A and B are shown apart, each in its own frame.
Chain A
Amino acid sequence: MIEVKDLCFSYSKNAKDTINNISFKVNKGEIFGFLGPSGAGKSTTQNILIGILKDYRGSVKVLDREIREIQSDYYENIGVAFEFPNFYNKMTALENLKFFQSLYKEAGEDILGLLDMVGLKEHGDKRVSSFSKGMKMRLNFCRAIMNKPEAIFLDEPTSGLDPVNAKIIKDVIQAKKAAGKTIFLTTHNMNVAEELCDRVAFIVDGKIMLIDSPRALKIKHGERSVKVEFRSRGTTENKSFQLEGIGHNNEFLKTLKENEIERMHTQEATLEDIFIKVTGRRLV
């Protein structure tokens, strides 16, 4: 679906490469997360994938087409939500979506249905100028999927959203994946990546440091132990046990039997910890 090979890019001839020899593949029906701090090259890579920057070296194929050679019909099949939503402020939400939808050949999704889905139905007739950042973000998301695209590119799709609305957007993204759509997600929010992505790539200084599934990363980089917190003689105590042979670990079993257990967690690393460990950088 998306195939990037030996990609290099610099903004001007003499400048250092912003993207330094990266390669990756995204399969059909996959949610692929591109993670990294600001300035790492996330947006540049996305801009190359969506054909805004064509002066790259190496090969970039999306929907089996080399981006360097795409024509405007490429855009019939992709959807993009930039990090900062851009609309006609004097038009209503509904007018905006209808306007942008009419730029496509096919009829696309039912717009009222989309607005309903993200909780904007009753705001459809309000001008976008009166929208909050979160409402604009949801409208922006609707626009990215209204032409029924095969590949969807989302830049920080939940930024500025409250947890309820963020959950709605995440659910729709999952539904799109289930329908076989390919999703390329750019973010520095590790929780979003962890929840949504089948695989993530860590990008720092224009280089990909690793590509793997969040689950595999957490197992690989986590400690193989479980931490048990329990009440004992009026205070909370905790003990850690190795996962190896834990079913035969008498001390562990005794702790479970004799105490009131408050919490029990495997000591897997968070994606954020792993990112810092692998790249030596913090996000944000």
Chain B
Amino acid sequence: MKKVIALSLGDLRNIGRDLILSISLFAPLLLTALLRFVIPVVNQYLLLNFDFNLTPHYPFILSFTLLLTPLLVGTATGFLILEEKDENLLRYFTITPLSKDGYLSYRLLSPMVLSTLLSFVILYFTNLIKINHALTIPIVIMAALEVPLMALILGTFAENKVEGLAISKAMGLFFAAPAVGYFVSASWRWMAGIIAPFWVTEAFLHSSTFSLAYIRAIIIGIVLHLVCMFIVYRRFTKSSE
């Protein structure tokens, strides 16, 4: 526990002294406020002026926010890993009582916890739609798996922060998959399902009742996330030896 506190304080320092990292952790909260206070106003405006009702799309908007949180937290974590990789700190942790495994567990699990908490804040505070609590929990956990995935992709494939920035931009493209899933009704929409975030939205859109579609999205989604994570994790530990 003492180590976790020390590590967390260290992270807070490092994040606090980096503008981009600070912003990326504040962004989910900012987004929450936006959803709660601005979206209803926008809806009113569209309804009055264009006779367009945004309300049916609220679940999709919310599911997107649910994905954005782990993306931001995961990217911030990825940048911390890149900094530590730059300084070869991973090697140093190996020779402390923390150990390499201890460091990696902390580095990947703590932002998952943070992302999960932020997701719950977003879900309940935005108050956009009625939520089925029991069915939402597995979705939030699945979304939290994006965090280590994003972080490891950055940590493995970027050599430095500049490359990291480019890769994090490219990773944003993954989030086209849920949009394809939502806006395309033809059967080729399932092609987007090879990209993990697709299943978070898919599950969320079916989370009002316990259904086959829901359970299918949860199982495929979690398995796919874990498989991707396993592959990237192996590459990461190999590249950091």
**A interface residues, Cβ below 8 angstroms from B:** 50-52, 72-73, 75-76, 78, 80, 82, 84, 86-91, 95, 99-100, 102-105
Q: Number of B interface residues, CB 8 Å?
A: 23
Which residues of chain B from 58 to 117 have any CB-CB distance to chain A below 8 Å in the complex? 83, 87-89, 91-92, 94-99, 102
**B98–A90 contact, CB under 8 A?**
no
Chain A to chain B: the 4 pairs with minimum beta-carbon distance, closest first: A102-B6, A72-B99, A86-B87, A90-B17
Find chain B residues with CB under 8 A from A104 CB. 96-97
Q: Which residues of B contact A (CB under 8 A)?
A: 2-3, 5-6, 9-10, 13-14, 17-18, 83, 87-89, 91-92, 94-99, 102
- Dominant SS at the A interface? loop
Instruction: Report whether A100 and B14 are in contact in the complex, using a CB–CB cutoff of 8 Å.
Output: no
Expressed in whole angstroms, the Cα–Cα distance for A105 and B6 within the complex equals 12
Q: Is the CB of B13 within 8 A of A95?
A: yes
Interfacial chain B residues near A50, Cβ < 8 Å:
95
In the complex, the answer to whether B97 meets A105 with C-beta atoms within 8 Å is yes
- Whether B87 contacts A100 by the Cβ 8 Å rule is no
B14 & A102 in contact (Cβ 8 Å cutoff): no
B237 CB to closest chain A CB (Å) equals 13
Known contacts being A73-B97, A103-B6, is A82 close to B91, with CB within 8 Å?
yes
Q: Which residues of chain A are near B10, meaning CB under 8 Å?
A: 88, 91, 95, 99
Q: Pick the residue among A75, A82, A87 that contacts B96 (CB under 8 A).
A: A75
- Looking at the assembled complex, report how far the CB atom of B77 sits from the nearest CB atom of chain A, in whole angstroms: 15
Beyond known contacts A76-B97, A99-B10, A103-B96: 13 more, CB 8 A cutoff: A50-B95, A72-B97, A72-B99, A73-B97, A80-B95, A82-B91, A86-B91, A86-B92, A88-B10, A88-B87, A90-B13, A91-B14, A102-B3
Nearest-CB residue, chain B, relative to A80: B95
Closest to A105 in B: B97
Whether B98 pairs with A103 at a CB distance below 8 angstroms is yes
Which residue from chain B places its CB closest to the CB of A104 in the assembled complex? B97
Which A residues are CB-close (under 8 A) to B97? 72-73, 75-76, 103-105
CB pair B98–A87 under 8 Å, yes or no, is no
Report whether B2 and A100 are in contact in the complex, using a CB–CB cutoff of 8 Å: no
Evaluate contact between B6 and A90: CB separation under 8 angstroms: no
A82 to B92, CA, bound (A): 8
Chain B residues near A89 (CB, 8 Å)?
A: 83, 87
Given known A84-B88, A102-B2, contact A90–B14 (CB-CB < 8 A): yes
Docked complex Cα distance between A144 and B94 (Å): 14
Complex CA gap A75/B94 in Å reads 9
Min CB–CB distance A147 → chain B (angstroms)? 9
Chain B residue with Cβ nearest A92: B13
A95 vs B6: C-alpha distance in the bound complex, in angstroms? 11
CA distance A103 to B4 in the complex (A): 9
**Smallest CB separation, B88 vs chain A (Å):** 5
Q: Using CB atoms, name the residue of chain A closest to B88.
A: A86
Q: A88–B92 Cα gap in the complex (Å)?
A: 11
A137 to chain B, nearest CB (A): 14
Contacts of B5 in A (CB 8 A): 102
Nearest residue, chain B, Cβ from A50: B95
Q: Whole-angstrom distance between the alpha carbons of A242 and B167 in the complex? A: 73
* Chain A residues with CB below 8 A from B94, complex form: 51-52
* With A88-B87, A88-B89 as contacts: A99 and B95 at CB distance below 8 Å: no
CB distance from B18 to the nearest CB of A (A): 7
Complex Cα–Cα for A52 and B88 (A): 14
